[in-house]
Amino acid sequence: MFKTPLKALLLGSALVVTSFATSFSAQAQNMHDSWNALLNKHVVAINHNHSTEVDYAAIKREHAQLKTYLDSLTAVTQSEFDAWEKPKQLAFLINAYNAWTVELILTKYPDIKSIKDLGSFFSSPWSKEFVPLLGKTRSLDDIEHGLIRGSGKYNDPRIHFAVNCASIGCPALREEAYTATDLESQLQEQTVRFLSDMTRNMAQENTLSVSSIFKWYGDDFEKGFRGANTLQQFFLQYSDALKLIPAQQKALKNDDMKVKFLDYNWDLNVRH
């Protein structure tokens, strides 16, 4: 007489476990959905898709949605983060950096013309500790230079074309959230997107003029990513994006091409 109740009990337990697993999987999959929706609506491609502008006014009107997303990032514990695969970790950190940068801009928008307006003589906006993430109150510098670059786990210089500093000189704020599944293609697209922008990276005769990003973070491009141990070798991997003709490729390979770093435009990447 105990067979039927026992079967029902076991079946019910299995359904609960399955339901929990499905719910957990969906939660993990959809972690960045609300951020993705904001980006889809309020980030617009310009300059032949090489750059983007951000409608900060519209995001400010939907600040509750952004705040809910930021709270969901804060809720992730260090142990949960450590259990993830590297692509999921890196996507999480890039999204966190970008979302909290937007949040920082909104604290003073529309009364700012540059993210640098949020700093002071003694400190930069990137050193301001206002981000509750992985059990600590962090700065944007800590996310980028500590968790992403300083950890030594990721060794992918393409992150410099994914994290966005809310400035015209920055690589585009992508119009979608980064995800573990699509991270490789997203980073590759962002790199090509930026390098092919001839207003910020261009080859003329025997001179390659590039963004100051490559001056500030040159070492990151010389750590063996896909065999590139010099900045020139990294550029050669993207010779098509940079529109390098064979003679320029040869000069770059032989270190006979001058590399010049362009001034950076810190004006706010705002959509008017």
Residue 36 pLDDT > 70:
yes
pLDDT surpassing 60 at residue 22: no
- Tens digits of per-residue pLDDT, 132-171? 999 999 999 999 999 999 988 999 999 999 999 999 999 9
C-alpha closest to that of 244 among 267, 234, 4, 31: 234
Q: What's the confidence (pLDDT) of residue 16?
A: 40
Query: In this structure, are residues 187 and 162 in contact, taking their beta carbons and an 8 Å threshold?
Result: yes
For residue 19, pLDDT beyond 50: no
Tens digits of residue pLDDT in 38-60: 999 999 999 999 999 999 999 99
The ranges assigned to domains in the chain are 30-197
Greater confidence (114 vs 24) lies with 114
d(CA 80, CA 89): 10
Paired residues of 199 in beta bridges: none
Q: Tell me the helix, strand and coil percentages in the chain, rounded to 5.
A: 55, 10, 35
User: Which range has the worst mean pLDDT, 27-36, 47-56, 80-89, 100-109?
Assistant: 27-36
- Band (5; pLDDT cuts 50, 70, 90): low
Mean local confidence (pLDDT), 200-216: 97
In the prediction, which pLDDT does 30 show? 81
Question: Would the pLDDT of 231 be above 90?
Answer: yes
- Note whether 156 and 255 are within 8 A (CB): no
